Amino acid sequence: MTHPAEEYDVLVAGGGPGGASAATFVAMQGHRVLLLEKEEFPRYQIGESLLPSTVHGICRLLGVADQVHEAGFVRKRGGTFAWGSGSEPWSFDFALSEKFAGPTSFAYQVERAKFDQLLLDNARSKGVEVRERCAVSEAVEEDGRVCGVRYTDADGVERTARARYVVDATGNSSRLQRAVGGERRYSEHFQNLALFGYFEGGRRLPEPNSGNITCVAFPSGWFWYIPLSDTLTSVGAVLRKDCADRVRGDRAEALGSLIDECPIIADYLSDAQRITEGRYGEVRVRKDWSYLHDTFWRPGLVLVGDAVGFIDPLFSSGVHMSTYSALLAARSLNTALRGELDERECFAEYEARYRKEYQTFHDFLVTFYDVNRDEQQYFEEARRVTGDAAPGAQAFVGLVGGGASDESALTSESYRDKRKQQLHELSRGVHWEGHRIQLQAAFGEAADDVPVTDGGLIASLDGMHWERSAEPV
């Protein structure tokens, strides 16, 4: 039986944080959006430690922050590291950076099945048509443009859906990314793999750090230790490629023997039991995650989240990168759908900003993996890669909290206000005043974005579109 093709403005493949966010940001502008997700939610996913930029920035913009705050997730004040040349573990606190100081100086450790369900339900409530158990198989093209996808629906029926734009948010396993052209480029620096499981009864750090992520370096790599409730802990060993043979054979035994080699983690887990049943009962392996696609879009198709790239679990940047890419791509989609700017310009803006954020995290992580430095040297390196001159640990915390881009949508209200004021002063210096007055007349406040490239676009005041800046900075 053949089915007539369905028509949408935007079709999103994949309902993880990237897909759900992109779909919601587009639907909130009144566009017709279909999201196709292969699994039935709630489904398992790794990536449980979030950043303040996601919790207070993206979730606020999505209109889901209240639900996230009420979900009972563990509050993450910062991170604790047994890392570097010093002998003592050290901690950082998100409140140290003015980008997050005040009521936004924390994030959450989340069970992804619950967090991702909240984002997907929110997409539905904001007008996205969400269909689960629908696996997208390939892009449909016409006249050199992607104009839809073929998918298998929940009843096993092959269907075609058409749209003006397709978003590939199918994550690490994306097959659609091939349709964009170019290649996935794997990192020369990061070729790690992870072996991870879940424990009941692991120890907690003393207050106020009990919700921190703990990262502990050991001879084969490092461990993450993430408290997901008072008693549930996610524990993973990230191993260098040359230690890959440590995960051959029985995975539970392999994880156990790695834990024995890391005294801090062995101590934290000395009274704990590994969970052996249900969603958390498996010891899982992940590898081949450090890559960036060398093309982000082509006419009719754009990649977001893990479909476009991921770096490394250290510093928990994955959900931040995925949802930030969704915001940037959604601005491009919303602007192109409104027909205000050429789509090439819109998607080039997405690509430029996302590459910058990716590169910043990447370059910092390359240095951080050198465990022969001390934390002061890591803080200095954070200042170098971000160009943020803030003293002490501030530039480091701004970066690892997800605020390196200085994107006002991702930072605290007080920092946004301060930045607006700075931009206002800057605008007077470069004769932007006419433009500012127009913007203020239209929206009642000053714009708070600057181009990141010569002649680049800036975010509109509502944060949901791109517009041309009146004057180059």
**Residues at the site binding ligand FAD, with contacts judged by CB under 6 A:** 13-19, 36-39, 45-50, 135-136, 169-173, 194, 236, 286, 289, 305-306, 310, 313, 316, 318-320, 322
Please report, as a single letter, which amino acid is at residue 342: D
Q: Which is nearer to ligand FAD, 16 or 84 (CB)?
A: 16
Closest approach of Cβ 306 to ligand FAD, in Å? 4
Closest approach of Cβ 49 to ligand FAD, in Å? 4
Burial of 191 (0-12, 13-18, 19+ CB in 10 A): middle
Q: Which is nearer to ligand FAD, 82 or 307 (CB)?
A: 307
Give, as one character, the DSSP assignment of residue 193: E
Q: Which is nearer to ligand FAD, 242 or 462 (CB)?
A: 242
Token pair, residue 426, equals 């800057």
Query: Which residues have CB under 8 Å from 181's CB, separation 6+?
Result: 295, 298
Q: Which is nearer to ligand FAD, 6 or 433 (CB)?
A: 6
* CA atoms of 20 and 37, how far apart (whole Å): 10
* CA atoms of 376 and 395, how far apart (whole Å): 11
Please report, as a single letter, which amino acid is at residue 54: T
Closest approach of Cβ 357 to ligand FAD, in Å? 13
Alpha-carbon distance values, 227 to 55, 72, 193, 211, 258 (Å): 17, 13, 21, 6, 19
Token pair, residue 462, equals 């509502």
Closest approach of Cβ 71 to ligand FAD, in Å? 16
Closest approach of Cβ 27 to ligand FAD, in Å? 17
* CA atoms of 166 and 12, how far apart (whole Å): 6
Q: Which is nearer to ligand FAD, 38 or 77 (CB)?
A: 38
Closest approach of Cβ 17 to ligand FAD, in Å? 4
Q: Which is nearer to ligand FAD, 323 or 427 (CB)?
A: 323
Q: Which is nearer to ligand FAD, 316 or 469 (CB)?
A: 316
* CA atoms of 259 and 268, how far apart (whole Å): 10
Please report, as a single letter, which amino acid is at residue 5: A
Closest approach of Cβ 98 to ligand FAD, in Å? 23
